[in-house]
Chain A
Amino acid sequence: MKRVYVSRDMASVALGADEVAHAFEAAGCEVVRTGSRGLFSIEPLVEVESEGKRIGFGPVGPADIAAVLDGSHEARLGDVAALPFFAGQQRFTFARCGVIDPLSLKDYAEHGGWRGLETARGMTPQAVVDAVKASGLRGRGGAGFPTGIKWQTVLDAVSDAKFIVCNADEGDSGTFADRMLVEGDPFCLIEGMAIAGHAVGASHGYIYIRSEYPFAIAAMREAIQLSAERTAPFTLEVRVGAGAYVCGEETALLESIEGKRGQVRAKPPLPALAGLFGRPTVINNLLSLAAVPFILAEGAKAYADVGFGRSRGTIPVQLAGNVKHGGLYEIGFGITLGELVNDIGGGTASGRPVRAVQVGGPLGAYFPPSMFDLPFDYEAFAQAGGLIGHAGITVFDDSVDMAHMARFAMEFCAVESCGKCTPCRIGSTRGVEVMDRIIAARDSATVVQAGRNWEGYLQKALNSRTPDRIDTGLEAQTALLRDLCDTMKHGSLCALGGFTPYPVLSALDHFPEDFGAKSPVKEAAE
C-alpha cells in the first residue's frame, strides 16, 4: 500500500486538504496526516513515499490523485525540504512540523523528542535556568524579555505552588506560528513546559489557546492525554479564550484563567512573583517555551551561536497578507526585511509593487520598501520606530490606502480595549473620528484656509465639544491625531493603548501623501 502524507493544518484544510486526503484514502492509500511544512502556495501538498523518500506534489486537488500516484502530475516538487523556501531555513523549533504525525509519540521520539526533558531532569533546576540564560532566548510574545531571567525570578520565589502558563492567544493579524506548532508538533510545547516546570519547581501548567483556533485546541487536548505519563508528575490543561484580543496581555490572560473579565492588572506585582491565583508564575509565549527543548538537547551554545547582536537564536518569521510565497520561515536573527519580503516571499501575490509592510501585528509599525535593509533584531526595530512583536509580516501592494489602515488601527483598539484606562478606551474612539475627518478632508481636497494661527486654534478645538467649532481641515486634524497618539502612548496602562500609535504614526510619517499632505516629507528628504 502506498503511503502519502497530507497536512491537517487548519490553513491546509481551508485550502482543501481534507478532500485530497479522502480521495487518497478512497484510492486505497495509507494517508498520514501531518502538520504543515509552512509554505501555503504549495498547499494542499501531498508527499508520496517511495523507496524511503518523499516526493512532493502541490498544490493538488482531489481530481489529481491518479496523476500524483503515477508521478506524472505537473506540480511535482520533488524533495520538499530541498526547495529554496525550506533549504534556506534554520529549523530549530519547527524541525518536526510538517514531517511527523503530530499525535504519534513514536514519531516524536524517533525525531529527537524528549531528549531536552531527559537532559533537564538530569540537571539541577538552577543549571536548567542557567542554560536558558546562556542561550540568550528572549520572549517571543512581543517584549523580548530574557526568558532565563524571568525563570530565575520564579525559581527564587518561595511558595506552596507555582505555575507555568503558555500564552497561545496569538491574536496578532499576520501571525500563525503558535497555531502551526500546536497543530504540527504539540509534544514539543509539552516538552518545553515540562522543562520549565522542572526548572522553577512548578507542577501544573495551563495552555491558554484562543477560541478562533479550534483545530489547535483539539490537537493540544489529545496530545496532553497521550503524553501524560511521559511528563508526570507535571500536569497540563488547556484553557480556551473567548474572543478578546487583550487576553493575550499576560495579566489579562491570568485574570481570564481565573474566571474574570480580561482586564489588565497594574504591575507590580510581577506575575513571576504573584501571578496566577497569586502564586509565582512563568508566563511565556508558546514559541519561547517551544524553543527550550532544542536548547537543552543541543546545548545553549548551539542556540546562541545563531543570531544578531543581542537577538540570539532563531525567529519563526511569518510571511502574510499580499505575499506570493506566504508561510513560516524560521531563521536566525539578522536577516533583512527586504530579503524576507522580496527574495523569500517573492513580492506580492497580486503582482503589483510592494508599498508597505506591517511588522508585529496590529500594534506594529508600517514600513515602506525604502526601509527594507532593516535587519530582524529587537534593537534595530525599536530604533526604527517599530517592533518585531510575534514576528508576523503583513505585506500590502500599492492599492493600499494607509489612512484607512491608520483608521483601522484605531478602530481595532476601540473594539478590543479592556476599558481600564481612558486614553485607550476613549482615545481610540476619538481616533477613529479624527481619521474619518482626515479622510473626508483629503477626499474632498479641502484647501486649508491660509493665515490662521493653528496653535491657538487647535487649543480651542481640543477643548471643544461642538462640531462646528472644530477645525476639520487637514492640518488641524493631523496635529490633533499626533496629540492624541501622544496621550495614548504615555497615558495607557498596557501596550494595546500604548502601542496603537505605532501603526498610526508610522503610516502618517512614511506615507503622508495618503493623509492628504501635498509634499511628502519623506520623498523630499531623499
Chain B
Amino acid sequence: MQQEDATRLIEDWTRTHGRTRDRLLPLLHMLQEEIGFIDDAAIPAIATALNLSRADVHGVVTFYHDFRRTPAGRHVVKLCRAESCQARGATAIEKAATDRLGVPMGETRPDGQVTLEPVYCLGLCAVGPNALVDGRPVARIDAATLDRIAQEIAA
C-alpha cells in the first residue's frame, strides 16, 4: 500500500475517533487491520495526527508483541506455547508444525505463504494444543490437524 493511502486512512480515522493520545492503540490496531503491518514510513503521519513525537510512537509500536513492522505471510498461524497447552503435548506439536509448514517459529516462509507465530494462551486451555489459523480457533491439534492446516495454507 502506498504511503498516501496510510496517511489518508489516518486522517479519516482521526476525524471520527479523535486525536487524543489514548487513541494511539486503537489507531495502530486499525492500521494493522487495514494494511497488515505498521510501516516505519507511517510513523511520522501517526505522530503528527496525534501530536506525539516520532520516538514516542516508535516506542509504543515496538513495545507490543501484536504490532508487526513487516508484512506477514498470506496466512498466519498463531500456535499456543503456554503451560496448559504444553501439558497436552504442545512442545512436540510446535516442532511438528515447524517441520510440516516449513517455517521456523516466529518467521514467515520465504514464499510469503505463511507466518508461524507463538502466542501465550488463547483461553482454550482444557482442549489444547491450540492455535488461531487466520483468526479461526483450532483445538486438540495433532498430526492430522497439521496436515489440514498445511493444505489450507497451500491453497
Chain B residue with Cβ nearest A212: B122
A232: Cβ under 8 A from any B Cβ: no
On chain B, the residues within 8 Å of A171 by CB distance are 120-121
Q: For chain A, residues 3 to 35, give those with C-beta under 8 angstroms from any C-beta of chain B.
A: 10-11, 13-15
Are the CB atoms of B125 and A242 closer together than 8 Å?
no
Are the CB atoms of B29 and A321 closer together than 8 Å?
no
Are the CB atoms of A212 and B123 closer together than 8 Å?
yes
Min distance, Cβ A226 to any Cβ of chain B, angstroms: 21
Min distance, Cβ A180 to any Cβ of chain B, angstroms: 8
Are the CB atoms of A262 and B64 closer together than 8 Å?
yes
Within the assembled complex, what's the spacing in Å between the Cα atoms of A213 and B124? Answer: 10
Given pairs A259-B22, A326-B125, 16 additional interface contacts (CB within 8 A): A10-B124, A11-B126, A14-B124, A170-B123, A171-B121, A172-B121, A173-B84, A174-B84, A176-B125, A176-B126, A212-B119, A240-B25, A243-B66, A244-B65, A319-B126, A400-B87
Chain A residue with Cβ nearest B91: A404
Are the CB atoms of A261 and B63 closer together than 8 Å?
yes
Within the assembled complex, what's the spacing in Å between the Cα atoms of A48 and B152? Answer: 33
Within the assembled complex, what's the spacing in Å between the Cα atoms of A320 and B84? Answer: 6
B127: Cβ under 8 A from any A Cβ: yes
Q: For chain B, residues 28 to 47, give those with C-beta under 8 angstroms from any C-beta of chain A.
A: 28-29
On chain B, the residues within 8 Å of A10 by CB distance are 122-124, 137
Also in contact, A321 and B65, with CB within 8 A (given A13-B137, A240-B25, A242-B28): no
Within the assembled complex, what's the spacing in Å between the Cα atoms of A260 and B21? Answer: 8
A: which residues have CB within 8 A of B? 10-11, 13-15, 40, 43, 170-176, 178-179, 211-214, 239-245, 256-263, 277, 318-323, 326-327, 349, 358, 362, 392, 394-397, 400, 405, 408, 412, 415-416
Also in contact, A327 and B25, with CB within 8 A (given A242-B65, A259-B60): no
Within 8 Å by CB of B127, from A15, A400, A416, lies A15
Are the CB atoms of B126 and A323 closer together than 8 Å?
yes
Are the CB atoms of B63 and A174 closer together than 8 Å?
no
8 A-B pairs with CB atoms under 8 Å apart are: A14-B138, A173-B82, A175-B123, A239-B26, A240-B25, A392-B125, A394-B84, A396-B87
On chain B, the residues within 8 Å of A392 by CB distance are 84, 125
B114: Cβ under 8 A from any A Cβ: no
Are the CB atoms of A176 and B21 closer together than 8 Å?
no
Are the CB atoms of A412 and B87 closer together than 8 Å?
no
Are the CB atoms of A395 and B87 closer together than 8 Å?
yes
Chain B residue with Cβ nearest A366: B83
Chain B residue with Cβ nearest A396: B87
On chain B, the residues within 8 Å of A170 by CB distance are 123
Are the CB atoms of B126 and A212 closer together than 8 Å?
no
B: which residues have CB within 8 A of A? 20-26, 28-29, 50, 59-60, 63-67, 82-88, 119-128, 130, 132, 135, 137-140
On chain A, the residues within 8 Å of B128 by CB distance are 321
Name the residue among B84, B119, B124, B130 with the largest chain A CB count within 10 angstroms: B84
Min distance, Cβ B51 to any Cβ of chain A, angstroms: 11
Are the CB atoms of B29 and A240 closer together than 8 Å?
yes
Chain B residue with Cβ nearest A41: B126
Within 8 Å by CB of A260, from B60, B86, B138, lies B60
On chain B, the residues within 8 Å of A362 by CB distance are 82-83, 120
Nearest first, the 5 A-B pairs at minimum CB distance are: A326-B126, A321-B87, A173-B82, A259-B24, A242-B64
On chain A, the residues within 8 Å of B50 by CB distance are 259
Are the CB atoms of A40 and B126 closer together than 8 Å?
yes
Are the CB atoms of B125 and A321 closer together than 8 Å?
yes
Within 8 Å by CB of B130, from A14, A240, A319, lies A14
Are the CB atoms of A173 and B120 closer together than 8 Å?
yes
Are the CB atoms of A259 and B88 closer together than 8 Å?
no
Are the CB atoms of B22 and A405 closer together than 8 Å?
no
Min distance, Cβ B152 to any Cβ of chain A, angstroms: 15
Are the CB atoms of A14 and B123 closer together than 8 Å?
no
Are the CB atoms of A242 and B67 closer together than 8 Å?
yes
Within 8 Å by CB of B63, from A211, A262, A323, A405, lies A262
Also in contact, A321 and B59, with CB within 8 A (given A14-B127, A412-B120): no
On chain B, the residues within 8 Å of A394 by CB distance are 83-84, 87, 125
On chain A, the residues within 8 Å of B60 by CB distance are 259-261
Chain A residue with Cβ nearest B63: A261
Min distance, Cβ B90 to any Cβ of chain A, angstroms: 10
On chain A, the residues within 8 Å of B21 by CB distance are 258-260
Within the assembled complex, what's the spacing in Å between the Cα atoms of A319 and B26? Answer: 33
Chain A residue with Cβ nearest B50: A259
Are the CB atoms of B25 and A242 closer together than 8 Å?
yes
On chain B, the residues within 8 Å of A241 by CB distance are 66
